Amino acid sequence: MSRIVRWLLTAAVLLAACGALALITLFVVTNGNPVDTLQNLAFRVQLSSRQSELNTPVGSDETPVRFMVAAGDTPRIVAQNLAAAGLIRDAELFVTFVRANDLDTQIEAGTYFLAQSEPLTEIAYALTDSGANTIPFRILEGWRMEEVAAAIDDNPLFGFSGADFLRAVGPGATPDPAFTAATGMPPGTSLEGFLFPETYTLPASVTPEMLRDILLDEFMLQAGAPLAASAQAQGLSLYEAVTLASIIQREAVRVDEMPLISSVYRNRLEANMRLEADPTVQYGIGNRDGRWWPQITQADYSSAVSPYNTYLNTGLPPGPIASPGLAAIHAALAPQQSPYYFFRAACDGSGYHVFAITFDEHVANACP
């Protein structure tokens, strides 16, 4: 074999070895995915000249937009839906970005709250963590269930309406049978009074039924199990205790006065007197002049015919009139001992009341 041939063979072997070494090195450096790595590099080159588009949001509106990623949605489908929702301008640019940054396999199915004021890059990363999206929601003490429904309608993050929620908690609602058994709730009644007042952090995917169950679970945690035995010992069902507590909640302005107000109602019940509680009249009237708790007149005491009107009916009303807080429920079951049968608002504007044993004393306590 000639010297030239031997040299060529040696050169060929060396080139082959170098090529093999280069391929091995590339394979190691790219973690076994040289094609994907080169493709990502190409995507990054494409993006390098489009940084302004990537970081410029569609608009300045910060209002959250509810956006859904369904199981099985590809990055292209997600991008098209984002563009249709007015959250990004260029669907292809979104696809290129998520592939260049290995986000295409990290996008999670779920519900998200996005805004036009967020650039494409932030939106892309946001879609990798569906659990980070929650709905803050607060129910105030003394709200009736229609007010809870109105708060749902006022919150753009919910995927359902207040009317949807009312169908889940109104008459004929079907909570867990264990709940109705524990509370003594009559069959077919609404869940008024048991939508526990609290500040909640709800999952973005919450449904009317899920929200109902969250509120009932919170009631049982805070008040149900701890106070059921106390109610039973006093010959009351928890449902009756919450009914009384809802009246106390609506009457009391000062929490420290709740046990004394409770004593008046408990004294009246024991004496078989009508409770004559103004909030029960308001509840029976319902929404008047755009208010769920309208100003009532003297005529309303007799003209507002309703089983809830305790000026017309003896004993507790058929059920709660609002959602009482824990303090009101405690007051219903642990009233302050007193001889009082009447009370009215104090004339000093303090929010406190003046109490009386007799009706004549009650009349004398009227403001001049």
Which pairs count as long-range contacts for 364-367, CB under 8 Å and 24+ apart, including other chains? none
Beta bridge partners of 114: 65
| Least reliable range by pLDDT among 29-43, 107-121, 128-142, 219-233 | 29-43
Rounded CA-CA distance 42/295 in Å is 70
The pLDDT tens digits for 214-267 are 999 999 999 987 798 899 999 999 999 999 999 999 999 999 999 999 999 999
Per-residue pLDDT reduced to its tens digit, 70-116: 999 999 999 999 999 999 999 999 999 999 999 999 999 999 999 99
What pLDDT sits at residue 26? 46
Chain segment 323-350, per-residue pLDDT in tens = 999 999 999 999 999 999 999 999 998 9
Q: What is the pLDDT of residue 93?
A: 95
Q: Is residue 33's pLDDT more than 70?
A: no
**Burial bucket for residue 280 (CB in 10 Å: 0-12, 13-18, 19+):** buried
Backbone dihedral angles phi then psi of residue 156, each to the nearest 5 degrees: -70, -5
Burial 126-140 (b: 16+ CB within 10 A, else e): bbeebeebebebebe
- Structural domains for the chain: 40-132 (3.30.1490.480), 145-337 (no CATH)
What's the predicted TM-score (pTM) here?
0.82
Kindly state the greatest CA–CA separation across the chain: 135
